[in-house]
């Protein structure tokens, strides 16, 4: 194990990472600057650490192997659409090379910070990088708090996503989208990240010591709630609630297997609900009541009412239409090639709104196996990191993965969000269990 000396000077090489991290996460920079601007900063930082004496202060056997398994699986997943495109070019799955490269670079930067910092004893530096990323989340929350009422009818994240894709919902909403973008409200991607971060900070509240740190966890929970509230996307509420329940299970059971099993059960139930909404028929009246209570949030209120009608048996609702997309992907997987999905086929049957089910419909067990490989590498990597970060923290990655398993059924949530891969071990540096050690 390494020993942290409080008088050690700050590693100035980390200053090269401030702009890339802000560009990855800060809405203002995302809207105003091209993504390729991060390249010089990232290259310089990688050159600096590559040319240094890389004698580590921490030796964790097999850590690098788990890291490369995770990276390899991520690369396979990102470029799987090319496999389908080359075998069936007339029915190519949507794929943008620049977006794929950007995702790979972002993951590489975040993983490198975690890996290098913990092995080399750069605790102060990594804490600062955590602060940079959380600043972006706070900025979006402040913008949502100040200007959310002006975009609440459509929702900030929904409006920005519609504008950036060229599909703004009517000319009258363009001004709403531009307002949300200019003040720095979060995008659809950051709103989903917020839904995962709420359980992270809830769990962390019980693991940090001191009023200020506990207050910071509460502030971040509320900040991420604001990002969801004014984002106009409603599934993040459900993801956050399931994540909170899984965090409670983790605190109560202290069992990794139990947490994963609960996530799988929640996902199976979500899939069953997609095929038969009536299994929750008793939720009709409560959902209608919630719809009335949340009338000040038109997007959420309308979704709750639509869901109430769906569980009561109506098929002519927005909620029922969304569930049909999940059904289509599940049937596409079962009716196509179980192993290779639509690879080599002229027909693609995917609903386009479920990360896991769409992957199975497109690439069969080949794609599903890549997802499993990635999460196995991720959990193995974090299991080994727990030798440094602490046993109590080791449950947090399992809460994230279990929440993702559930969320991957109703929504196209990103596989392995780099922000979360970085923040989950980064926040552990503030845990009392970690600080008790002589770092």
Q: What is the 3-state secondary structure (H, E, C) of 128-142?
A: HHHHHHHHHHHHHHH
Max Cα–Cα distance, the chain, nearest Å: 66
Mean pLDDT across 336-354 = 79
What's the Rg (C-alpha) of the chain? 22
State how far the Cα of 281 lies from the Cα of 278, in Å rounded to an integer: 5
State how far the Cα of 324 lies from the Cα of 267, in Å rounded to an integer: 16
Count CB neighbours of 198 within 10 A: 26
Q: What backbone phi and psi angles, to 5 degrees, belong to 337? A: -75, 120
Average pLDDT of every residue of the chain: 86
Q: What is the pLDDT of residues 182-220, one digit of tens each?
A: 788 888 888 899 999 999 999 999 999 999 999 999 999
Structure token pair of residue 3 = 């020993």
Which helix (DSSP H) or strand (DSSP E) does residue 66 occupy? Answer: helix 63-87
Q: What's the pLDDT band for 3 if we cut at 50, 70, 90?
A: very low
CB 24 within 8 A of CB 419: yes
**Start-end of H helices in 312-354:** 318-335
CB 136 within 8 A of CB 25: yes
Give the CA distances from residue 343 to residues 74, 77, 88, in Å, rounded to whole numbers and listed in that order. 19, 14, 7
Q: What is the pLDDT of residues 152-165, one digit of tens each?
A: 766 767 666 666 65
Residue 345 buriedness (CB in 10 A; 0-12 / 13-18 / 19+): middle
Q: Which residues contact 31 (CB under 8 A, 6 or more apart)?
A: 181, 182, 184
Q: What percent of the chain has pLDDT over 90?
A: 46
The pLDDT value recorded for residue 322 is: 83
CB 397 within 8 A of CB 199: no
Model pTM score: 0.91
Structure token pair of residue 355 = 């990360």
The pLDDT value recorded for residue 156 is: 67
State how far the Cα of 41 lies from the Cα of 19, in Å rounded to an integer: 8
* Percentages of the chain per state (helix, strand, coil), in multiples of 5: 75, 0, 25
Q: Quick one: which of 366, 374, 362 has its CA closest to 417?
A: 374
* Confidence check: pLDDT of 239 > 90: yes
The pLDDT value recorded for residue 350 is: 79
Go through the chain and tell me how many residues it has: 439
Strands (E) in 187-302, as ranges, are: none
Q: What percent of the chain has pLDDT over 70?
A: 88
* Confidence check: pLDDT of 4 > 60: no
Q: What is the pLDDT of residues 11-55, one digit of tens each?
A: 889 999 999 999 999 888 888 888 889 999 999 999 998 887 767
Q: What is the pLDDT of residues 400-419, one digit of tens each?
A: 999 999 999 988 888 989 99
Q: What is the pLDDT of residues 259-299, one digit of tens each?
A: 999 999 999 999 999 888 888 888 888 888 988 888 877 77
The pLDDT value recorded for residue 346 is: 67
Q: Quick one: which of 40, 37, 41 has its CA closest to 13?
A: 41
The pLDDT value recorded for residue 58 is: 75
Residue 276 buriedness (CB in 10 A; 0-12 / 13-18 / 19+): exposed
Q: What is the pLDDT of residues 62-113, one digit of tens each?
A: 899 999 999 999 999 998 887 766 554 444 456 777 888 889 999 999 999 9
Q: What backbone phi and psi angles, to 5 degrees, belong to 183? A: -85, -10
The pLDDT value recorded for residue 86 is: 54
Q: What's the pLDDT band for 1 if we cut at 50, 70, 90?
A: very low
Give the CA distances from residue 283 to residues 268, 288, 345, 398, in Å, rounded to whole numbers and listed in that order. 19, 9, 41, 29
CB 343 within 8 A of CB 333: no
Half-sphere exposure for 313 (CA within 13 Å, toward CB) = 1
State how far the Cα of 109 lies from the Cα of 43, in Å rounded to an integer: 10
18 or 309, which is more confident:
18
Count CB neighbours of 301 within 10 A: 17
């Amino acid at each position: 194990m390494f020993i942290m000396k409080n008088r050690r000077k700050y590693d100035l090489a980390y200053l090269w990472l401030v702009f890339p991290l802000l560009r990855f996460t800060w809405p203002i920079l995302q809207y105003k600057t091209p993504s390729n601007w991060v390249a010089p900063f990232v290259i310089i930082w990688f050159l600096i650490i590559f040319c240094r004496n890389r004698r580590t202060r921490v030796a964790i056997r097999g850590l690098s192997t788990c890291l490369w398994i995770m990276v390899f699986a991520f690369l396979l997943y990102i470029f799987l659409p090319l496999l389908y495109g080359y075998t069936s070019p007339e029915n190519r799955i949507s794929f943008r090379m620049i977006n794929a490269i950007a995702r790979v670079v972002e993951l590489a930067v975040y993983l490198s910070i975690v890996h290098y910092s913990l092995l080399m004893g750069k605790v102060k530096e990594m804490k600062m990088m955590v602060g940079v990323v959380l600043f972006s989340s706070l900025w979006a929350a402040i913008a949502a708090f100040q200007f959310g009422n002006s975009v609440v009818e459509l929702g900030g994240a929904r409006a920005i996503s519609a504008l950036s894709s060229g599909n703004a919902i009517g000319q009258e909403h363009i001004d709403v989208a531009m307002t949300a973008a200019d003040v720095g409200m979060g995008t659809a991607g950051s709103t989903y990240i917020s839904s995962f971060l709420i359980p992270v900070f809830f769990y962390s509240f019980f693991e940090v010591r001191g009023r200020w740190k506990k207050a910071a966890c509460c502030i971040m929970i509320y900040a991420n709630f604001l990002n969801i509230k004014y984002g106009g996307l409603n599934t993040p509420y459900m993801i956050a609630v399931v994540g909170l329940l899984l965090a409670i299970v983790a605190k109560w059971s202290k069992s990794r297997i139990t947490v994963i099993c609960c996530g799988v059960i929640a996902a199976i139930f979500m899939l069953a609900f997609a095929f038969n909404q009536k299994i929750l028929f008793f939720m009709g009246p409560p959902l209608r009541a919630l719809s009335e209570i949340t009338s000040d949030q038109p997007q959420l209120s309308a979704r709750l009412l639509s869901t109430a009608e769906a569980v009561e048996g109506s098929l002519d609702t927005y909620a029922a239409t969304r569930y049909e997309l999940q059904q289509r992907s599940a049937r596409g997987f079962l009716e196509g090639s179980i192993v290779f999905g639509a690879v080599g086929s002229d027909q693609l049957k995917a609903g386009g709104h479920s990360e896991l089910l769409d992957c199975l419909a497109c690439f069969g067990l080949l794609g599903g196996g890549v997802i499993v490989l990635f999460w196995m590498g991720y959990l193995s990597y974090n299991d080994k990191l727990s030798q440094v970060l602490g046993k109590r923290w080791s449950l947090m990655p399992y809460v994230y993965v279990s929440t993702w398993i559930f969320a991957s059924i109703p929504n196209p949530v990103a596989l392995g969000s780099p922000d979360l891969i970085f923040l989950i071990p980064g926040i552990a540096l503030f845990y009392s269990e970690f600080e008790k050690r002589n770092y």
